[in-house]
């Protein structure tokens, strides 16, 4: 078990540090103090070759903009908020518009572009990082001063846990997630269409043409959104289904079943790498990288369309007429808490 740190850049006159956690088996996770961005998760294939199973930029300067949110903490609110409008206790707030006419992933400079304070943690069973950030009242026009903590822990079971805590001094919105792009082929050498996915969900949220929830909850039965049994991601992704056409692929919230069967499983038959996810959140957004990325990527990974999958565990996104808003409103007497575990192994 060990942690290393290296200065790799300068952002807004502050040093950008890369923190590298390594367990006793050689599994490696690298996290930046900029946005809590995960830039590396090195796991072995069937021959024992350690390769990166997440996408990242080759050039650190590209993280200073990061329009696709590679590997980052997303906040204060993950997902889209229609027209950037929210009402809390009768007070209307107009959030920053950065996605058509809507607010996406926290606004113009969400948590993915913030510098976080970092403390390292190490003991006999795990290594970890505690990241903290103070989000001021009316930052991106969200009400309340928000104290946020993100803890990344790597253990010898090859599990990466991400835990979030948040406290506010007045009612506000909090719906955090992580936006890592996974590809189990290693170093992004093959697209994800042949990689297999199981999502433990009987229902998903319908989206409109701007990918805002309509409020309608749909059964996955008989649709391309049925991942209750594992299937290749590419099996149904090109079906002429309105929901898939709206997103140019998958970019939808699945409502997770509460049966202790785990949230999802992801598997690459070629490398034999597998990943299971467990979470205390109600939903997961599965995004199938529906656009190509023209930037130079680390590890000679390809930036082609469908070359990664994001699994964004979170609360339900806000729908029409403030539907589900109460689920992501945090009061001063409450503590926001989220825990998601990513378990890596070989089949």
Annotated catalytic sites, by residue?
A: 179, 312
Element (H, E) at 246: helix 242-247
Give the whole-angstrom CA distance, residue 219 versus residue 198: 16
CB count in 10 Å sphere of residue 34: 26
Q: Which DSSP letter does residue 175 get?
A: B
| CA contacts within 13 A on the Cβ side of 14 | 14
The residue whose two tokens read 């089949």 is: 347
3-state class percentages of the chain: helix first, strand second, coil last, to nearest 5: 10, 45, 45
Local structure of 310: helix, strand or coil: strand
Closest CA to 129 of 39, 14, 32, 55: 32
CB count in 10 Å sphere of residue 91: 10
Closest CA to 124 of 160, 152, 157, 156: 156
The residue whose two tokens read 């920053």 is: 96
Cβ atoms of 89 and 79 closer than 8 Å: no
**Residue 308 Cα to chain centre, angstroms:** 12
What pairs with residue 159 in β-bridges?
343
Give the whole-angstrom CA distance, residue 269 versus residue 230: 12
Give the whole-angstrom CA distance, residue 7 versus residue 17: 4
Element (H, E) at 339: strand 336-346
Closest CA to 201 of 282, 266, 315: 282
């Amino acid at each position: 078990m060990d942690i290393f740190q290296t200065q790799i850049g300068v952002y807004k006159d502050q040093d950008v540090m890369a923190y590298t956690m390594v367990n006793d088996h050689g599994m490696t996770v690298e996290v930046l103090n900029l946005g809590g961005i995960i830039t590396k998760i090195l796991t072995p294939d069937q021959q024992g070759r350690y390769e990166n199973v997440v996408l990242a930029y080759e050039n650190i300067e590209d993280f200073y903009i990061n329009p696709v949110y590679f590997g980052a903490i997303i906040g204060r609110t993950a997902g889209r908020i229609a027209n950037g409008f929210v009402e809390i206790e009768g007070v209307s707030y107009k959030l920053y518009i950065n996605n058509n006419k809507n607010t996406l992933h926290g606004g113009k400079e969400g948590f993915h572009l913030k510098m976080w304070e970092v403390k390292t943690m190490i003991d006999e069973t795990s290594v970890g990082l505690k990241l903290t950030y103070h989000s001021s009242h009316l930052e991106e026009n969200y009400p309340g001063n928000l104290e946020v903590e993100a803890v990344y822990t790597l253990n010898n079971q090859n599990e990466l846990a991400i835990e979030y805590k948040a406290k506010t001094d007045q009612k506000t919105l909090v719906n955090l997630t992580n936006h890592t792009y996974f590809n189990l082929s290693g170093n992004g050498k093959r697209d994800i269409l042949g990689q297999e996915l199981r999502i433990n969900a009987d229902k998903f949220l319908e989206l409109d043409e701007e990918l805002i929830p309509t409020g309608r909850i749909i059964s996955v039965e008989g649709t391309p959104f049925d991942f209750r049994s594992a299937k290749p991601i590419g099996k149904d992704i090109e079906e002429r289904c309105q929901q898939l056409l709206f997103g140019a692929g998958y970019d939808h919230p699945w409502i997770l079943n509460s049966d202790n069967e785990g949230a999802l499983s992801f598997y690459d038959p070629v490398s034999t790498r597998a990943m299971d996810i467990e979470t205390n959140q109600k939903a997961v957004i599965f995004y199938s990288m529906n656009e190509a990325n023209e930037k130079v990527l680390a590890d000679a990974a390809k930036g082609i369309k469908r070359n990664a999958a994001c699994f964004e565990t979170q609360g339900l996104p806000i729908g029409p007429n403030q539907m589900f808003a109460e689920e992501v409103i945090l009061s001063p007497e409450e503590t926001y808490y989220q825990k998601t575990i990513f378990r890596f192994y070989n089949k």
